[in-house]
Each structure stands twice: as structure tokens, then as C-alpha cells.
Amino acid sequence: MSLIADLLLLLGAFFIFLAALGLLRMPDVYTCLQAGTKAATLGAIAVITSVLFDHPEWWGKLLVILFFILLTSPVGSSTIARSAFILGHKPWHTPPKDETS
């Protein structure tokens, strides 16, 4: 069980790192939210599942934590995106492709 917990912990840390990297590298607030929210949520789920394998007696508390993460992450990101849209932040987009080629 410890090997599974360690692998899940490494996987969670990797996804959290990708979320931080996405926040730094993406060009606008909307793509930052996409990269940060999805990867950080997946990373947190992997880390909490790792703790569940290490300490199975905490399953009730960990399920409540997972529930709140899965509930608040999309609500928080959509609220930030809506407020950015209301404030007038335009989404970054690629230029349209030439239709003749």
C-alpha cells in the first residue's frame, strides 16, 4: 500500500506543478483558469487519495475534503472568469487561418 500511496503522491505533485506552470505560461486569465483549475484539482485528488492509502482510518474526513474540493473548484474558477469578463478582459485568441490555403 505504501508504494501506491507514494506513486499517487508523486502524481499529485506532478499535476500541481503543471498547474503552477500553466498559471505562469498561459497568455490570459481564462486559459490560466483552465490550466490551473483542472490540473490543481486532479493533483489535490491524487494527494488526498495517497493519504487515504496511507491512513485508511481517515476515510470519512478525506471524503468530505474531496467533496468540498470538487464542489468549490469549478464554482471558484467560473466566478473568477465571470468577474474577469465583467471587468472587460478579452480572451486571447489565435489569428484566423487564411482560407485560401
55-80 tens-digit pLDDT: 999 999 999 999 999 999 989 999 99
**CA 51/CA 4 separation, integer angstroms:** 10
CA neighbours closer than 13 Å in the CB half-sphere of residue 6: 3
CA neighbours closer than 13 Å in the CB half-sphere of residue 41: 18
Q: Report the pLDDT averaged over residues 36-61.
A: 94
**CA 66/CA 80 separation, integer angstroms:** 21
Q: What DSSP assignment string belongs to 22-76?
A: HHHH-SSHHHHHHHHHHHHHHHHHHHHHHHHHH-GGGHHHHHHHHHHHHHHHHHH
Quick one: which of 33, 41, 38, 35 has its CA closest to 68?
41
Amino acid at 97: K
In this predicted structure, the answer to whether residue 27 has a pLDDT above a threshold of 60 is yes
Mean pLDDT in the chain? 90
